[in-house]
Amino acid sequence: MMEHHLLEHFRFCPACGSPRFEPHNQKSKQCPQCGFTYYFNPSAATVAVILNERDELLVVRRAKQPARGTLDLPGGFCDCYETAEQGVCREVLEETGLSVCQTRYLFSIPNIYPYGGMDIHTMDLFFLCRLRQTDGGQAADDAAQLMWLPLEQVRPEDFGLTSVRQGVERLLQELPLISNP
């Protein structure tokens, strides 16, 4: 069985519009007409790990596909011209109404995010985030529900996105190291 090229949906050269936009190697396509080569790289996405003083994890229920109705951690795609730290703060605010006052990078996990009939390759960057206040907040944007889940009740299999599920597994294993740097 032949594997699909990462850029199979990209049929025309983005530089000159030529329909002869051909595979150059496994992660790029090249236009023989103008010589432009496009390299496919993952999109940056962020995931917020937020714990309160009662050792509860802030989780959201996904409002949209993929994995609608499953648990998730706040986060999403980084915008152009923003840092990953700015992106995670913005996403937490958009999805929960809560403001992040401090971030600390934890780790990253590659992911494939199905969107619009395409597989979007992402690099999910996990951040430990501290909130200005842990009370209040309301689910919005991509989040249908917001809840604080006691750590002993966190089950990785309840998280619908593969990278977040893997990240939650890792968090539960490394929690003493993560919460006390």
* β-strands 118-131, 43-50 pairing: parallel
pLDDT band of residue 2 (cuts 50, 70, 90) is: very low
State the Cα–Cα distance between residues 70 and 156, nearest whole angstrom.
11
Average pLDDT, the chain: 92
Q: Is the pLDDT of residue 148 over 50?
A: yes
- Answer yes or no: is pLDDT of 20 > 80: yes
How many Cβ atoms sit within 10 Å of the Cβ of residue 171? Answer: 23
Query: Worst-scoring range by mean pLDDT, 105-109, 113-117, 176-180?
Result: 176-180
Distance, CA of 94 to CA of 72 (rounded, Å):
14
Q: Which residue ranges form the domains of the chain, and what is each CATH number?
A: 1-40 (no CATH), 43-179 (3.90.79.10)
Structure confidence at residue 56 (pLDDT): 95
The answer to whether the CB of 94 falls within 8 A of the CB of 139 is no
**Residue 1 pLDDT:** 39
Residue 26: predicted pLDDT: 87
